[in-house]
Structure 1
Amino acid sequence: MTLSNTHYLDRLLKPETIALVGVSPREGTVGNDMLKVLLSGGYKGQVFLVNPRYDEIEGHKCFASLSDIPVAIDMAVLSVASHRMEPLFDEAISLNIGGVTIFDYCKLEEEASPTLLERLSYKAKQANMPICGGNCMGYYNFDNDAYISFQSPGERKAGHISLIAHSGSIFVLPTSNDRRFRFNLVVSAGQEIATSLDEYMDFALEQESTRVLAIFMEAIRNPENFVKVLEKAKRKGIPVVVTKVGRTEVSAQLAATHSGAIAGNNTAYEALFKKYGVIATDSLDDLMTCAQILSQGGDLGAGDLGYIGDSGGLRELFVDTAEEHDLTFANLTDDTMNKLKQRLPLGLEAVNPLDAAGPFTPDYAEVFRDSVRYIMEDPNVAVGVFEFEARDEFIYMPEFIEIAKEVKQYSNKPFIVLNTFSLALNAGIAEDLMDHDIPLVNGVENAVKAIANLFANRDQQADSHTPAENISNPARKEKWHARLATGLPMSETDSLNLLADYGIGIANPQEAHTQEDTLKAVETMTFPVVLKTAEPHIHHKSDVGGVKLNLNSSTEVSEAYDDLANRLGYRVTIEPMVGQGTELAFGMVNDPQFGPMVMVGSGGIYIEVLKDRVFSLAPFDEIEAMAMIDSLRTRPLLAGVRGAKAADLNQLAKQLANFSHLAADLGDDISEIDVNPIIVNDKGSIAVDALVIAKEVDAEQSAA
């Protein structure tokens, strides 16, 4: 009988008793391969084989069914075809088996409704039984040598990376190739019949051997729990590195607002990852390199990069690549600089990044040994890189390997050995260095991108603070909830009044439906004024010539009204021209998984062309709002150029934070918001135009 468990997935992922159903003596079959993979891994628990056609396989007794096994089973592999899956699954549930692994894709030629997958999912959830798969490659738990797959990871030392992947190919590629990547857990999630990515992540966070989570993700099926797991990882100080695929903007054409059009499919994940300090990578190489570096442990403190190399040309290449990825080198202290000047041979400059390759004297390696130590011990260095050419077949200075290994004796900072050539054949050296928690990275861009990601994550974590709570005004919220629930379109005036209620400066438009009313409204204003169409079906006024600027007399207003009324309709708004300034935009898009996301970006007519925007999940406070503003490419314009005064950024940040509270308050009622442009100058921020798209209200709700 197994011991009591501490996690829902313990019996599935670290079983003490395993049943292999569908095992076979035939070479080259999944049923035979899964037995060999498990036995070759040195699994120390009990293994039971199930196949009624055989008495024994590979010297192990075969049972006719799961029910014939005389002990309780923690995990069963159901390696059978789809048409045999359901009765076998029912038997596993009746025996209270702790979890099952399913390689098959569980589809029948003539599917009934509900489908086989749907039936299995329902039964598993009713029985509280976790499933790895279906259509998966299984899993490797290196902590207890449970290799549950039909493909072997080969001889590979255990490590500290927990890799969880939706793709079976990603399960195979890192574990079947270079052994410098060391794992404690690798899971192929497959179809997630009953167990989702977030649950595997939660399990990994509970394992003492986990130092980093590496996730290859297609989509999130349980967003609420996924967020809880990210919060847990952040509390425990375990970094999460993700490669999210499916990042293209195919949904942009369906958006009603500019905000929605420039958001794209991946924006919600960008905002979520930023909020919880997830390191987002672009490729499998980036994912694994970053995870490899993080798996060494060490303290990533304040400071920048320290570099020591043995080639002037490769140093130049590293510097160029570092600049492309905004990676900065540490300013070494005077003490470090003096030590380097005294130690370096004539002709070598004491500088970071350092080329320490002088004449081939008996002292050659010792110069590097001392230089590495001086730079790694400098308080302004947070991460060190030691670049030299090393192959398993040849290394011109073997002492470099020992120098690298010694670093961990005097420094707990992350330290990386780099071979600039990404195709270098040095897996043996890499394994040797990993025995001392020193990652050897091949490829200058691989290393630079990974280090840049580490620094960005560190800085984001340092800037993070307690997320803002939405301090709601119940009366204000109910007022606008009732208005939006009517199903009537929000006019520009309605939309701007909503913003004003939430503390956002507006241009105070007046709506008119006749030329006479328009001219009366002008009498209360100072010229110049702006006249715009207010027809509710026109979302983007400038696209149809629906905006008349700089009208300086009643005559010009009258002529402009006639033109708009004849072409677009009689409803208009009129408002005073706002002073000159930088044009920005606020926006909100309501993500179906993670809720309202707020945008700030470059505004005006080029909003979709420039795509200079930043999204964050609502709500947030003025500190985060200011960080969003600071990250815009437009930001230098707000500081004042060519004699213009600097913009009032404090008010802008306050209004952006207020806008995020509006989004959080009314996220159940609004699908999209576009506030464009917002004129920002030294006097403040004024919203000139706004479009609010309410969620569709069904007829019964509207009548009620």
Structure 2
Amino acid sequence: MAHRLDALLRPRSVAVVGASARPESMGEWALKNLLKGGYEGSIYPVNPGYDELQDLRCFPDLGSLPERPDLVVFAVGDQRIEAALDAAIAIGVPAAVIMSTTIIDDDGVPPLKDRLQRKINAAGIVVCGSNCMGFYNVRDHVWACGFDSAMHEAPGNITLLSHSGAGMSGIIDCDERVRVNLAVSTGNELSVTMDEYLDFALDLPETRAVGLFIETARNPKGFRAALEKANQRHIPVVAIKVGKTEKAARLAVSHSGAIAGNDAAYEALFDRFGVQRVLDMDELATTLILFAELHPVAAGGLVTLHDSGGERQLLIDLADEAGVPLADLGKETVVELEKILDPELPAVNPLDAWSRGGSNYEQQMTQCLSLMMQDDGAALGAAMLNRAPDGVIYPIYLNYVQRAHVESGKPVALVAARQGTGSDEVVVTSTHAGIPVLDSVPLFLSGVRALFAYRDFLLRDDDAPVAVAERAVAEWRSRLRLPGTLGEAGALELLADFGLPVSRTVRVNAGSELDEAAESCGYPLALKTAVRGVAHKSDSGGVVLNIGDAAQLAEAYRKLASSLGPEAIVAPMADEGVEMILGATRDEQLGAIVLLGFGGVLAETLQDVKFALPPFDAAHARRCVDSLRLRPLLDGVRGKPAADIDSFCDLAARFSAIVDALREEIEEVDINPVIVHERGCTIVDALIASKRKQA
């Protein structure tokens, strides 16, 4: 099936503008890489200074070529790129690679990059770049890259897409265990965004895993669609997302013109679509290798074999820290292991099977790993062993894992306790044969965590999002567009109209109205300011709680009115419970996001919240709640009853549906606190900022 990127990634002919014989120049590498990759189409070097390059006829300009090339690789500097692009547009070139930064001193208005983008869009050219290293379509032998490159022999099953050129080359050129079918340095994405490359890669039959080095999603809608396509095909996506800190986000703008976006929004996006986020390039490479060679894994945990008691103990600590479950061995497995092990060795997972060593150690180690991996609780096995003094892997170690793999039918890896070389012939051969040999226990465990997390993601059986009343949606869309602000009373009214459990409130504007309000609500009472512009009432002395009688109410109101103004709200005190928070905000790229977590006056201090894309169901809300640091508080502490988590999760799901329905009208929502009782929950306070004006 034809794809929009075919002319770029599968060209029938390629011209290299700026091709050169100057050693280690972009023009030399661009031409050499096409030849090195075994490109089978026509190659046209273009440079008026040469008659021949690399045994190929060299042409003075694009107009002299015998045919219009599908792809032009521009190996020219920033001062020459605009004229070179104009020449390509003049002959109707459909695709190009622009590696130059497109930044020039004393530039005009609009700047060079903007001028190029306008011309590219007007001509409909498909462009990789600018400010990129190009791409490697190893599958189809198209290496359109203007930089030095390692040899990439056979097309692999990993796709790597990177906004950073080094993010691409640092993975594919530095570790032979990572085999790519397609790697792209996308750069500034003047016309083709990362989601389009991802869409292309997902159609390649050998793609088993995709790695992303991402600064931002320039086409959020397309990015979500591509991630959904990956889910439908059960192809895992692993991502480094930079710009998490404010400083890194600012630098993203100067690097590629990218606005990094709210990191919380990307966390929510990745969680929704099962993207496995990693922290650095080592973790990215390890995780991609595991997905490429071992995915999918069945239910269960990790079993590991050791020849050191100390390293076994270290593995237990590291697995706990990484959140990787270790399998509990069944009784039958334990009995069989005890028959093999020396008496002083406990038959447990992780297993130290060495002890006294002896002439039969190889047989003993092999049998032990095989038995553990055949256990019903084992999803994945690993032999954790050390490299030889010269840094290479002992080939005998492979006997353990190969036999265990054959006898159990389950995936297995060999993991060296310390870093070695990924280019060791035994390491590369074994990895490409489906038994990865990896370095660093923490890196391995981070990859296993991703394997298990993606497995569990695919097993999710979420319900459809909660439906909201169309009548209420229509009414509040109209009201939120009117001049003025909602205030707390209006915010609570909105939530109540959608059926959420809000506290009863009575608005008062004078002391003479207090008795009627108190009679309506009943003591004990809460009194809160309703003056416009007071967002955090507790910080301003605008909240008085546990008012027990009329005298206390009158005195509290007198002080409140004198300091903040006469407008106030009277409400009954809610029953005891755990204070939680629900909220929503808008990311300029990804749209609405919902937050849920622990609330109250310490909400900003605790920062114990999770983010999710609306709408979602109660099961998704429950996963968010279960991941909170203070989650045990909801189970009851110091004699307090357990909180009704199910009720809160149901409320969160219904709230997310409201946020989604009013996404064009609402800018921000803060519901704090939501008091979660032993049975049910109550919304006590709320703020809503509409797009027209903050409430």
> Same fold per TM (> 0.5)?
yes
**AA at the equivalent of 1:301:** A
Q: For residues 249 and 118 of structure 1, do their structure 2 counterparts lie closer, same or farther at Cα, with a shift above 3 Å needed?
A: closer
What amino acid is aligned across from residue 224 of structure 1 in structure 2? K
Query: Which amino acid in the other structure matches residue 375 of structure 2?
Result: D
Q: 2:523 aligns with which of 524, 527, 532?
A: 527
Equivalent position of 1:335 in the other structure: 332
Distance (Å, rounded) in 2 between the aligned partners of 1:523 and 1:250:
54
Is 2:217 the counterpart of 1:228?
Answer: no
Structure 2 residue 477 is the aligned partner of structure 1 residue 481: yes
Check if 1:315 corresponds to 2:315: no
In 1, the alpha carbon distance for the partners of 2:623 and 2:393 equals 48
Distance in 1 between the 2:682 and 2:566 partners? 26
Kindly provide the amino acid, as one letter, of the partner of residue 81 in structure 2. M
1:563 pairs with one of 555, 559, 562: 559
Corresponding residue number in structure 1 for 2:254:
none
Per the TM alignment, residue 337 of structure 1 is displaced from its structure 2 partner at its CA by 2.1
Identify which of 108, 112, 116 aligns with 1:112.
Answer: 108
- Given that residues 391 and 426 in structure 1 are in contact (C-alpha distance below 8 angstroms), is that contact kept between their aligned partners in structure 2? no
Deviates more, 1:680-689 or 1:30-39: 30-39
Q: Which amino acid aligns with 2:53?
A: I
Question: Where in structure 2 are the equivalents of 1:464-613 lying within 5 Å?
Answer: 464-465=461-462, 467-468=464-465, 471-613=467-609
1:180-229 superposed Cα distances (whole Å, 9 cap, x missing partner):
22222111111111111111111111112211000000011000000000
Task: Name 2:363's counterpart in structure 1.
Answer: 366
- Report SS of the residue matched to 2:375: coil
Amino acid aligned to 1:526:
G
1:311 maps to amino acid: S
Which residue does the alignment assign to 1:261? none
Q: 1:196 to 1:448 in 2, by over 3 A?
A: same
Task: State the partner residue of 2:209.
Answer: 212
Distance 1:475 1:616 in 2: 26
- In structure 2, how many angstroms separate the alpha carbons of the residues matched to 1:480 and 1:394? 68
Going from structure 1 to structure 2, the CA distance change for 1:506 and 1:449 (only over 3 Å counts) comes to same
Say if 2:659 is the partner of 1:663.
Answer: yes
Q: Across the two proteins, how many residue pairs are aligned to each other?
A: 682
Offset at residue 381 of structure 1 (A): 0.9
One-letter amino acid of the counterpart of residue 141, structure 2? D
Instruction: Measure the CA separation in 2 of the matches of 1:412 and 1:203.
Output: 32
Runs ≥4 in structure 1, deviation > 6 angstroms? none
Contact 1:391 1:424 in 2 (8 A): no
Deviation, 1:362, is 2.6
Please identify, of 567-576 and 69-78, the stretch whose mean Cα deviation from structure 2 is larger: 69-78
1:191 pairs with one of 181, 188, 210: 188
Task: In structure 2, list runs of 5 or more residues that go unmatched.
Answer: 250-260
Aligned equivalents of 1:175 and 1:333: distance in 2?
Answer: 41
Q: Distance in 2 between matches of 1:44 and 1:636?
A: 62
Which residue of structure 1 aligns with residue 436 of structure 2?
439
CA distance in 2, matches of 1:396, 1:583: 55
Q: 1:396 to 1:695 in 2, by over 3 A?
A: closer
1:260 aligns to what?
Answer: none
1:420: how far off? Answer: 1.3
Q: Distance in 2 between matches of 1:23 and 1:164?
A: 26
Identify the match of residue 40 of structure 2 among 40, 44, 48.
Answer: 44
Match of 1:294 among 288, 291, 295: 291
Unaligned runs of 5+ in 1: 253-263, 699-704
Q: Give the counterpart letter for 1:417 in structure 2.
A: L
Alignment of 1:616 with 2:624, yes or no, is no
Alignment match, 2:641: 645
Q: Which residue of 1 aligns with 2:241?
A: 244
Q: Distance in 2 between matches of 1:29 and 1:433?
A: 36
**Matches of 1:120 and 1:201, distance apart in 2:** 24
Q: How far off its partner does 1:431 sit?
A: 1.0
The aligned amino acid for 2:525 is: V
Deviates more, 1:567-576 or 1:296-305: 296-305
Instruction: Name the counterpart of 2:79.
Output: 83
Preserved contact between residue 198 and residue 225 of structure 1 (Cα < 8 Å): yes
The aligned residue for residue 415 of structure 1 is 412
1:599-646 alpha-carbon deviations (Å, 9 max, x no partner): 211111110111111111111122222332333333322233333333
Note if contact 1:251-1:265 (Cα within 8 Å) is conserved in structure 2. no
Find the residue that maps to 1:417 and give its secondary structure.
strand
Q: Percent identity?
A: 35
Residues 622 and 58 of structure 1: CA distance in aligned 2, closer, same or farther (over 3 Å): closer
Check whether the contact 1:34–1:151 (CA below 8 A) recurs between aligned residues: yes
Q: Describe the shift of the 1:343–1:44 C-alpha distance in structure 2 as closer, same or farther (beyond 3 A).
A: farther
Is 1:632 the counterpart of 2:658? The answer is no
Residue 274 of structure 1 pairs with residue 271 of structure 2: yes
Name the structure 2 match of 1:681.
Answer: 677
Q: Structure 1 residues 697 and 496 mapped into 2: Cα distance closer, same or farther (>3 Å)? A: closer
For the pair 1:165 / 2:180, whether they are aligned, the reply is no
Shift of 1:249: 5.6
User: For each residue in 1:30-70, what CA deviation from the matched residue of structure 2 results, as whole angstroms up to 9, or x when unmatched?
Assistant: 11222223323333332111112211123211112222222
User: How far off its partner does 1:391 sit?
Assistant: 4.3
> Structure 2 vs 1, CA of residues 230 and 48 (structure 1 numbering), >3 Å: closer, same or farther?
same
Provide Cα deviations, 1:349-405, integer angstroms capped at 9, x if missing partner: 221111111433331111122222222222211111111112483668531123334
The answer to whether the 8 Å contact 1:22/1:31 transfers is: yes
- The one-letter code matched in structure 1 to 2:559 is D
With over 3 angstroms needed to count, the CA separation of the structure-2 counterparts of 1:441 and 1:678, relative to structure 1, is same
- Check the 8 A contact 1:241/1:278 in 2, yes or no: yes
Query: Alignment RMSD, CA only?
Result: 2.2
CA distance in 2, matches of 1:405, 1:166: 38
Query: CA separation of 1:656/1:78 partners in 2, compared to 1, >3 Å: closer, same or farther?
Result: same
Letter in 2 for 1:63: F
SS in 1 for 2:485: coil
3-state SS in 2 of match to 1:190 = coil
Q: Is the 8 A contact 1:531 1:549 kept in 2?
A: yes
Deviations along 1:136-165, one digit per CA (max 9) or x if unpaired, are 111112213322222233234442211111
Shift of 1:421: 1.1
Match of residue 128 from structure 2: 132
Alpha carbons 2:286, 2:447 under 8 Å: kept: yes
- Equivalent position amino acid for 1:492 in 2: E
Alignment CA distance shift 1:634-1:22 (3 Å) = same
Q: Which one is further off, 232-241 or 123-132?
A: 123-132
Amino acid at match of 1:381: A
The answer (yes or no) to whether the contact 1:250–1:265 under 8 Å persists in 2 is: no
Aligned residue in 1 for 2:26: 30
Residue 151 of structure 2 is matched in structure 1 by 155
The amino acid across from 1:25 in the alignment is: A
Distance 2:539 2:599 in 1: 15
Residue 332 of structure 2 aligns to which amino acid in structure 1? D
Q: Which string of whole-angstrom CA distances, capped at 9 and with x for unpartnered residues, describes residues 406-457 of structure 1? A: 4554455332211111356873332122231222221111111221122122
Distance 1:249 1:508, change over 3 A: farther
CA distance in 2, matches of 1:346, 1:471: 62
On the 8 A contact 1:153/1:175 being kept in 2, the answer is: no
1:630-672 residue CA offsets vs partner (Å, 9 max, x unmatched): 3333332223333333333332222211111111111111111
Bigger shift: 159-168 or 24-33? 24-33
Corresponding residue number in structure 2 for 1:64: 60
Q: What secondary structure does 2:520 align onto?
A: coil
Q: Distance in 2 between matches of 1:172 and 1:352?
A: 38
Instruction: Flag the 1:403–1:630 CA change in 2: closer, same or farther, 3 A.
Output: closer
CA distance in 2, matches of 1:152, 1:413: 39
* Paired AA for residue 324 in structure 2: L
2:418 aligned partner, one-letter code:
F
For 1:356, the equivalent position in structure 2 comes to 353
